[in-house]
Amino acid sequence: MVQITLPDGSKRDFPGPVTVAEVAASIGAGLAKAALGGKVNGKLVDTSYPITADSPLSIVTAKDADGLEMIRHSTAHLLAYAVKELFPEAQVTIGPVIEHGFYYDFSYKRPFTPEDLAAIEKKMGELAAKDEPVQRRVLPRDEAVAYFKSLGEHYKAEIIASIPSNEEVSLYREGKFEDLCRGPHVPSTGKLKHFKLMKVAGAYWRGDHRNEMLQRVYGTAWASKEELQQYLTMLEEAEKRDHRRLGRELDLFHLDEHSPGTVFWHPKGWAIWQEVEQYMRRVYRENGYQEVKGPQILDKALWEKTGHWDKYRENMFTTESEKRDYALKPMNCPGHILIYKQGIKSYRELPLRYGEFGACHRNEPTGGLHGIMRVRGFTQDDGHIFCTEDMIQEEVKAFTTLLQKVYKDFGFTEIIYKLSTRPEKRIGTEESWDRAEAALAEGLKASGCDFEYLPGEGAFYGPKIEYTLKDALGRPWQCGTIQVDPNLPERLDAEFVGEDGARHRPVMLHRAIVGSLERFIGILIEQYAGALPTWLAPVQVAVLNITDAQGDYCQEIAQKLKKSLPNQELRVVTDLRNEKITYKIREHSMQKLPYILVAGDKEKAAGAVAVRARGNKDLGVMSLEAFVQLIAADIAHKSVEPAPQGQ
How far apart CA 261 and CA 252 sit, in angstroms, is: 16
Closest CA to 545 of 481, 459, 499, 609: 609
Query: Residue 557 is which amino acid?
Result: I
Q: Is the peptide bond before 50 cis (omega within 30 degrees of 0)?
A: no
How far apart CA 382 and CA 359 sit, in angstroms, is: 10
Region class of 283: left (phi > 0), else alpha (psi between -120 and 50), else beta: alpha
Mean of the pLDDT values across residues 471-493?
Answer: 92
Query: Residue 349 is which amino acid?
Result: E
Name the 3-class secondary structure at 619: strand
Mean of the pLDDT values across residues 503-520?
Answer: 96
Cβ contacts of 273-280, under 8 Å, gap ≥ 24: 273/517, 273/521, 275/535, 275/536, 276/514, 276/517, 276/520, 276/521, 276/524, 276/536, 277/357, 277/517, 279/409, 280/357, 280/381, 280/406, 280/513, 280/514
State yes or no: pLDDT of 640 exceeds 70: no
Q: Name the pLDDT band for 209 (thresholds 50, 70, 90).
A: confident
Length of the chain: 647
Cα distances (Å, whole numbers) of residue 272 to 154, 373, 381, 536: 52, 15, 15, 6
Torsion of CA 60, 63, 69, 70, to 10 degrees: 50
**What is the reported pLDDT for 639?**
63
Q: What are phi and psi of 578, to 5 degrees?
A: -85, 70
Closest CA to 515 of 503, 504, 502, 524: 524
How confident is the model over 257-309, as pLDDT tens digits?
Answer: 999 999 999 999 999 999 999 999 999 999 999 999 999 999 999 999 998 89
**What is the reported pLDDT for 647?**
47
**What is the reported pLDDT for 641?**
57
Torsion of CA 188, 192, 193, 195, to 10 degrees: -160
How far apart CA 288 and CA 383 sit, in angstroms, is: 11
Mean of the pLDDT values across residues 409-435?
Answer: 91
State yes or no: pLDDT of 643 exceeds 70: no
Cα distances (Å, whole numbers) of residue 57 to 38, 183, 188, 376: 7, 18, 21, 48
Report, as residue numbers or ranges, the catalytic residues. 333, 362, 380, 382, 384, 464, 510
Say what percent of the chain tops pLDDT 70: 99
How confident is the model over 545-557, as pLDDT tens digits?
Answer: 999 999 999 999 9
How far apart CA 481 and CA 383 sit, in angstroms, is: 10
How confident is the model over 111-146, as pLDDT tens digits?
Answer: 999 999 999 999 999 999 999 999 999 999 999 999
Closest CA to 562 of 571, 553, 551, 552: 571
Closest CA to 424 of 469, 373, 470, 460: 460
Predicted TM-score (pTM) of this structure: 0.82
How confident is the model over 316-326, as pLDDT tens digits?
Answer: 999 999 999 99
Closest CA to 526 of 375, 632, 370: 370
How far apart CA 275 and CA 365 sit, in angstroms, is: 30
- Terminal-to-terminal C-alpha distance of the chain: 63
Asked if residues 610 and 201 have their Cβ atoms less than 8 Å apart, the reply is no
Q: Name the pLDDT band for 20 (thresholds 50, 70, 90).
A: very high
Q: Name the pLDDT band for 428 (thresholds 50, 70, 90).
A: confident
How confident is the model over 45-72, as pLDDT tens digits?
Answer: 999 999 999 999 999 999 999 999 999 9
**What is the reported pLDDT for 356?**
95
How confident is the model over 596-634, as pLDDT tens digits?
Answer: 999 999 999 999 999 999 988 999 999 999 999 999 999
∠176-177-181 over CA atoms, to 5°? 150
486 secondary structure, DSSP code? S
What distance lies between CA 622 and its chain's CA centroid?
Answer: 44
State yes or no: pLDDT of 439 exceeds 90: yes
Say what percent of the chain tops pLDDT 90: 87
